[in-house]
Structure formats: C-alpha cells, structure tokens
Structure 1
Amino acid sequence: MFEKLQRAFWKALTPDLVAETVIPEPAPDARLAPAVLNALGGAVNLKEQQRVALTRIRVQLYDPALVDETALKAAGITAVMVLAGGVVHLIPGQ
C-alpha cells in the first residue's frame, strides 16, 4: 500500500516522468516456499496469506489440523502459533 501511495505522490508531482505500470498480484501460493506450503496442508488448504511484519507471516487455513509443525521447522520456520479460526502465524528463521 505504501508503494502505491508513493507512486501516486510522485506521479502527481511529475506526471510525465512516472510511467503507468501494472504490477500483477502473485498467486496466493507463490509467496510461500514449497516446503512450507506442503507443511501447511498444501495449496488447497490455504485460504489467505499476509505478511504482517518483516518477521511474521499470517496464514488462514481451511483445516488447521493439517499443519505439520515438525515439517515447518525443517523448512526454516522458527516458531508456529496456531490461533482460533484457522489462523496460523509463522515466524521464519534468519
């Protein structure tokens, strides 16, 4: 969102210098590593994902019982926090 605001600001100041570019939104499963996605139960189990901080990824799953915490840790996820409503917070390792 900040990028869109920044682009609009500069376009307003210099309309002839900022080209109109459309940045395609990546597919929902494109932002997670394949090993992480598999440990969450696969792409069919992923309802929504969102980066909420530099160090945290929030995902919403259809069935949180499919989460394999051991596989997530092997994939580089330092901590997993399973919340109500199928919400899972992932903290990737360094």
Structure 2
Amino acid sequence: MFEKLQQAFWKALTPDLVAETPNAEPAADAMLAPAVLSALGGATNLKSQQRVALTRIRVQLQDPTLVDEMGLKAAGITAVMILTGGVVHLITGLS
C-alpha cells in the first residue's frame, strides 16, 4: 500500500521520469500536426512522443539531424529544445 502511494506521489512530481505500465502508443499524427511531423523528419523518424505539460511535447527521434527548426516555427511551434539522445522538446503554448 505504502509503495503504491509513494509511486503515485513521485509520478505526480515527475511524470516523465517514473515508469508506468506501457500503454498503447498514440498514432504518430494523433498529437502532432502534419506540418510539425514533416518538420521533424516524417513519421518514420519518430520513435516516441509524450505530452509533458499543457504547452510541451517531448519527442524522441531516430535521427535528430533531420529536424527543420524553421519549419517547426512556421508550423506554430513557439520554441524547440534539441537535447542529446534524439530527444526534442516542442514548446507549443504561450511564449
């Protein structure tokens, strides 16, 4: 009981760091607009995607060199953070 409560507590504080039971991955275009998906290198370049907050989407890419930052900005993405390991954070909300 305590272990489940502790896991729920940490999950609330750090939602992207605590592993859950695997859920069905949404379709590549379910969360991302076609223009955004294209600027990320297409659906085949997408390993995973996760909404981290109301204004942020975390994606992991096969090849991060295919990212077109200008294309993302033209598609309405406010800011782009490219991290190591093919992880990209897309800031979608208020600037």
User: 2:45 aligns to what?
Assistant: 45
User: 1:18 aligns to what?
Assistant: none
Unaligned stretches of 5+ residues in structure 2: 1-23
Q: Percent identity?
A: 80
- What displacement does 1:25 show? 6.1
**Contact conserved, 1:36 with 1:72, CA < 8 A, in 2?**
yes
- What displacement does 1:57 show? 0.3
**Contact conserved, 2:73 with 2:79, CA < 8 A, in 1?**
yes
- What displacement does 1:26 show? 3.5
User: 1:80 aligns to what?
Assistant: 80
User: 2:67 aligns to what?
Assistant: 67
TM-score, L = length of structure 2: 0.70
User: 1:21 aligns to what?
Assistant: none
Spell out structure 1 runs of 4+ moving beyond 6 A.
none
- What displacement does 1:93 show? 3.9
Unaligned stretches of 5+ residues in structure 1: 1-23
Greater radius of gyration (CA): 1
CA RMSD of aligned residues (A): 1.5
- What displacement does 1:29 show? 2.8
TM-score, L = length of structure 1: 0.70
**Contact conserved, 1:61 with 1:86, CA < 8 A, in 2?**
yes
